[in-house]
Structure 1
Amino acid sequence: MLELYQFELSHYVEKVRLILDYKGLAYRKIEVTPGIGQLELFRLSGQRQVPVLKDGSEVIADSTAIAEYLDRKYPNRPIIPADSKQRGLCLLMEQWADESIGLNARKVMLGALGQDQSFRKAFLPATTPDLLRGLVGSVPNEIFSVLGLGVGLGPEALKTAQDAMKRDLASLCFILMDQPYLLGDSPTLADFAVAGLTMYVKFPSGSYLDIPENLKGKGVPGIADVGTFEPFFKWRDRLYADYRKSSVSTVPPSSSAPTSINIE
């Protein structure tokens, strides 16, 4: 069986999960323990980043490389068009999604965590004690702003990321206005890349991800709740409903190595 080494909250991993579900491939999620689990991942793949896919003796790192491998090895329901022009557009759009949407989505999510107390609290599990929940909600936004400066996410950088994300979403709305998918009548790698990498902007509703219930359907204020972008999120909801399979509760990772769970 295919094994997907992952972080549940990685949007690049979500891109791969969408592709696996679309192709109808059974796989096992292996949640990597941050830190020590990544050393195990390095021994397996030669690098520490997720996603990593293991297929028998084959080990593939990087979401794009995994997508291309899956389309070669499991050609049923192809995601990369055979037509040369469509193929070029698909790969170009996927690269744009990786480099623009993927990077800016992370930044705007971190910015929202610093500016919106309700968004911060939504990340807490339902079992979080009320005292701790109150403490997280009461931390002044200014504290998170200072922390953001420490990782290069000051007000100017955050505004640049927000503006770029809004332009990307507006462009996607225009593309999807008269067609069901980004390149026409069938979903491609471009669709799954865009859908997965916008996860941080607005988390999908439903039982697709093992995340706190309060976080499902919640997104970055000022973007996810803006009516201008509603056509895009409706399109993404339909893509999830049509192709993404429900998940199951993630078993907590061990302290020494990744933990396997079945999601068949």
Structure 2
Amino acid sequence: MKLLMVEDNKSVSEMMSMFFQKEGWDVSFAYDGIEAVDMFNEDPDSWDIITLDLNLPKKDGMEVAKEIRAKSKSVPIIMLTARDSDSDQVLGFEMGADDYVTKPFSPITLVARIKALQRRAHAEAQPEAPKHPEEQKKKEYQIKTAHFKLNTNTREAYLDGQLIPDLTPKEFELLNALAQKPRQVYSREQLLELVWGYEYYGDERTVDAHIKKLRQKIEEVGPQVIQTVWGVGYKFDDSEVDKPK
């Protein structure tokens, strides 16, 4: 795996370098935002994962993430930051981050997050076996309810016939996981396991931040179908949707 770590604190980079080498990963380091963008742009398709500090000299991590996403929609990005607020997390996800790790962090935790994101990215990249036209037609929508339908091949979701706009990969996967079993309540820990692929090392606020953005996009086209079950987690429920917006 080829990894780009963008981190202005060289002591952190040196510490993580030992852990990355132990995994056998090919790691490059950038120490400011401009260097990070230049290194990424040299060969955008060659990188398997990026860890990106939010507080960087010359160009901050949010802008770096935005520029990377303009070149690659799929390379996984983990934000690393000393900031610890929901607004910062949401902004990071809006800029294209897939996960969020707050400093100070355990090197073992970061390695686990990287492995989980890479496993999922690799699984999503595997081509599906060709389907017979009739079989493909039957599976046009893998999830279909009275008001909602979702196609995992096109990665599109519709509420009362209207496309839910601009879903990020993680937002789509969250919606897919919840909608597969309408009205079943999922804890944040379960959603971390289903969508991010890790259990013990998960940060529940990652789920909350993604749910917040997902709800905003759903509300652009119709009634809210992601419900909070206080003290437990979240569920998909479109039983209260009576008509299109």
Fold match (TM-score > 0.5): no
Q: Structure 2-normalised TM-score?
A: 0.28
Instruction: Give the structure with the higher percent helix.
Output: 1
Normalised by the length of structure 1, the TM-score is: 0.27
The structure showing larger relative contact order (alpha-carbon pairs under 8 Å, at least 6 residues apart) is 1
